[in-house]
Amino acid sequence: MSSELRLVNEEGLDFGEAGGQCIAVPREHFWHDGLNERHPHLFEDPARVSREIALQVTRGLHFLHKNGICHGDFRPSSILLRLTGFDELTEDELIKQLGEPNKEPLRAISGESPEPSGPEYLVEGLSLDRLDARFISDQVSINDFGESYDMHSPPKDLGITAPFRSPLLLFDNTIGVGCDLWALACTIFDVRIRSPLFQNFMDDDDEVIMQMGPMLGKLPEPWWSSWEARGRWYEEDGMPLLNPDTGKPYMMIDTLEGLLSGRSPSGDDLEGKKNEAGGFIVPIKEGKVLGNLLRGILKYDPKERLTVEAVLEHSWFKR
């Protein structure tokens, strides 16, 4: 049975509890062999909406942990916004909003009809880019429970991508609640800033580890000594290795506060650092509060991290 179906069949799991309404799992199922799936992202920009979304996903994670479940793959692609208002639309009005369905006849390589095992035609997936904003609610649905597990019986590995993998997972492959908490901090940053906390294009663990130093301080032992790739970016004392030709570090040296404000210590402009009003991504006062929240979660030692309960009580959500 898939993780999603195990979750929905969990005895005693009451989705009517606080945070349960933020969880989206299938209530019925069928099996289908497919090649790909795609998760649409539709986040709005205003600070209030992003904080509300972050609060809902934190409540959802709290619901899971309270019931002994770890998500295992907690990241923005696992967060959807619910659509609303379609029930009142006629078919013509629906097509006007979403566009005419693009149908392509299915042809077998042999030239024979695909029936009865195959459909007569395929329909291209819908794009919600042109959908009127009034149909997009700010109600969150956490989905994608393919990596979820009983927190008391963790799996041998997690399939979560490198930018959301905690140091304990990267170095020791230790799996548990701390992995979800680290991923929560990365997700809150992404939701508010609309950019990943750790930049990574090739799902490279070393590139993610490299960025942790300027943000969170030198890696503790034994991780520092066991990290074989450290010489690509760092001196042995933890200082950035400088390129003799340019005098600049080989690595990104952005601090957490710099990323929140849209300022780079190297003087580089960060893409989209200005909002529509001409200010920085996060106002200075909010940045200090949000930075305090993120630093409370992004601790190398998982015992020092804020719990989900403590995160929910943080002042950033009460602004």
pLDDT at 232 over 60: yes
Q: Exposed/middle/buried for 76, CB within 10 Å: 0-12, 13-18, 19+?
A: buried
The C-alpha atoms of residue 284 and residue 270 are separated, in whole angstroms, by: 17
The structure's pTM equals 0.79
Domain count, the chain: 1
Question: In this structure, are residues 163 and 197 in contact, taking their beta carbons and an 8 Å threshold?
Answer: yes
Q: Which of 2-6, 44-48, 75-79 has the lowest average pLDDT?
A: 2-6
CA angle 271, 272, 278 (to 5 degrees): 135
pLDDT at 266 over 80: no
Q: State the chain's mean pLDDT as an integer.
A: 83
- Mean predicted confidence (pLDDT) in 47-59: 92
Give the other-Cβ count within 10 Å of 35's Cβ.
Answer: 4
pLDDT tens-digit series, residues 98-156: 888 899 888 888 888 788 778 888 898 887 777 888 888 888 999 999 999 999 999 99
CATH number for the domain harbouring residue 285? 1.10.510.10
Residue carrying the six token digits 């904003």: 133
Enclosing domain of residue 262: 3-318
